[in-house]
């Protein structure tokens, strides 16, 4: 569960997402499919009926494409064999090493109420250990979502950094934000909301839309304008307009709103439970920056779209 679902799938998520156009997308999906089948075989003696149903619904008709025999039952499949020649203990140890560092860095972000998908400027790791190869360091940067990774034997910290101790050394996280970081945070949350809206409204992957986005703060309009091409690519919008005010719900198009903390240096998207509390109570604080939330200082990004 941890190695496959909570680790490997996280690493390949960008390659296999619905809208991804990565050259490795289908080879990676093919490998994942094969691994899931072997996991199912290992589970079969423990949960025979469930695995049988999954086998028939998900795997049985594709056995030949996997160079395997199509059997009437999963319980007639051959038990998977360990391929000793494919085991590389050095790579496995490096991956375990970097995985533990990532878990510590993620815990640090969580402790200081920084969402995992939000980018940070920099992480410094102070250690005497030999760090894994460059490729594994790139995995660290991508998974923790930091722009820069510095590995050193000594570091003079300041008030911009928070830290945590790990068994491999001390991890320092730069918690400061600038306009580039804020732009990425806001645009990331906006894209997630548009994609989720597309999904619940049954739009197909790659299906083109006509999109219009408005915001009630000039800095948000600027963030959106500067990211138009990126947004268009991610949500398949080939007709895209940006307004410098909120858009009205005209009921002829799909309409959604994204509510943000009014503290510009935070700009966290607010979940429905926070907004509902705000309607009933006055003493509500942002869960990320702890600033007081009021109905008149909430920022709004509104968007409408339909099929192009």
The model's pLDDT over 41-85, given as tens digits with 9 standing for 90+, comes to: 999 999 999 999 999 999 998 888 888 889 999 999 999 888 899
What's the pLDDT band for 14 if we cut at 50, 70, 90?
Answer: confident
Q: Which fold would CATH assign to domain 89-176?
A: hypothetical protein PF0899 fold (3.30.2320)
Residue with more model confidence, 272 or 129: 272
Q: 119-170 pLDDT, tens per residue?
A: 999 999 998 887 778 888 889 999 999 999 998 989 999 999 999 998 888 9
- DSSP secondary structure, the chain, as one string: -TTIIIIIHHHHHHHHSTT---TTHHHHHHHHHHHHHHHHHHHTTTSHHHHHHHIIIIIGGGTGGGT----SSGGGSPPP---GGG--HHHHHHHHHHHHHHHHHHHHHHHTT--TTS-EEEEEEE-SSPPPPHHHHHHHHHHHTEEEEEEES-----TTEEEEEETTEEEEEE----HHHHHHHHHHHHHHHHHHHHHHTTPPTT--EEEEEEESSHHHHHHHHHTHHHHHHHHTEEEEEEESSPPP--SSSEEEEEEE-S-TTT-PBPPHHHHHHHHH-S-EE-TTT-PEE-TTT-EEEEEEEEE-
| Over residues 211-228, mean pLDDT | 94
Domain ranges, ordered by start, for the chain: 4-86, 89-176, 180-307
Mean predicted confidence (pLDDT) in 182-198: 94
Q: What is the pLDDT of residues 16-32, one digit of tens each?
A: 877 677 888 889 998 89
Average pLDDT in the chain? 90
pLDDT classification of 279: cutoffs 50, 70, 90: confident
More confident residue, 135 or 174: 174
């Amino acid at each position: 569960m941890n190695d496959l679902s909570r680790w490997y799938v996280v690493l390949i998520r960008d390659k296999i997402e619905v809208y991804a156009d990565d050259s490795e997308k289908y080879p990676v999906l093919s490998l994942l499919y094969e691994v899931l089948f072997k996991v199912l075989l290992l589970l079969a003696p423990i949960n025979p009926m469930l695995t049988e149903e999954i086998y028939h619904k998900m795997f049985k008709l594709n056995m030949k494409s996997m160079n395997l025999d199509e059997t009437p039952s999963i319980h007639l499949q051959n038990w998977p064999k360990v391929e000793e020649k494919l085991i590389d203990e050095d790579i496995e140890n490096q991956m375990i090493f970097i995985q533990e560092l990532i878990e510590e860095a993620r815990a640090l972000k969580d402790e200081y109420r920084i969402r995992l998908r939000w980018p940070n400027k920099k992480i410094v790791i102070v250690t005497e250990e030999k760090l894994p190869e460059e490729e594994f360091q790139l995995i660290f940067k991508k998974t923790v979502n930091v722009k820069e990774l510095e590995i050193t034997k000594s570091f003079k910290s300041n008030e911009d950094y928070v830290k945590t101790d790990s068994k491999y050394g001390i991890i320092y996280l730069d918690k400061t934000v600038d306009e580039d970081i804020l732009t990425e945070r806001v645009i990331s949350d906006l894209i997630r909301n548009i994609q989720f809206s597309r999904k619940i409204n049954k739009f197909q992957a790659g299906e083109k839309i006509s999109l219009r986005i408005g915001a009630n703060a000039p800095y948000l309009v600027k963030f959106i304008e500067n990211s138009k091409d990126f947004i268009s690519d991610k949500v398949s919008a080939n007709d895209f307009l940006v307004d410098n005010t909120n858009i009205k719900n005209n009921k002829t198009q799909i309409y959604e709103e994204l509510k943000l903390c009014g503290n510009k240096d935070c700009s966290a998207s607010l979940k429905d439970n926070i907004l509902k509390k705000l309607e009933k109570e006055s003493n509500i604080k942002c869960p990320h920056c702890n600033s007081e939330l009021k109905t008149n200082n909430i920022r709004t990004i509104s968007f409408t779209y339909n099929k192009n």
